[in-house]
Amino acid sequence: SIYSWRGARPQNLVLLSKDFPALQVVKLEQNYRSSGRILKAANILIANNPHVFENRTGVVIDSSRVCCR
C-alpha cells in the first residue's frame, strides 16, 4: 500500500464492509488514463494480492494515442 507509512493496510477495506453491513461499495471499473498494455500488466500483478476485491477494470483510452513523451 502506498499509504503503509501512515498505518494503512489493504485489509481495512475488507473489514470496513464487515463493520458497516449497510455500506454500499462503488467500484470504479473504467480506466481513462492508462493504455490496455499497462492495465493488463497491472491486473496481472494485482491478481496475486489476496486483499483485493474482484476487479473487472476495462480500458477506455485509445491505445494508439500517445499520452506522454
Residue 6 lies in a domain: no
Given a contact cutoff of 8 angstroms between Cβ atoms, the answer to whether 42 and 34 are in contact is yes
Number of domains in the chain: 1
Given a contact cutoff of 8 angstroms between Cβ atoms, the answer to whether 25 and 13 are in contact is no
Residue 58 lies in a domain: yes
Q: Which amino acid is at 23?
A: L
Residue 55 lies in a domain: yes
Cell of 67: 499520452
Give the residue ranges of the chain where pLDDT is below 50. none
Nearest residue to 16 (alpha-carbon basis) of 26, 2, 6: 26
State the pLDDT at residue 22: 93
Tell me the residue range of the domain where 59 lies. Answer: 24-69
Residue 16 lies in a domain: no
State the pLDDT at residue 27: 81
Nearest residue to 58 (alpha-carbon basis) of 35, 40, 34, 31: 31
Model-level pTM?
0.50
Residue 34 lies in a domain: yes
CA distance 25 to 66: 33
State the pLDDT at residue 33: 83
State the pLDDT at residue 46: 81
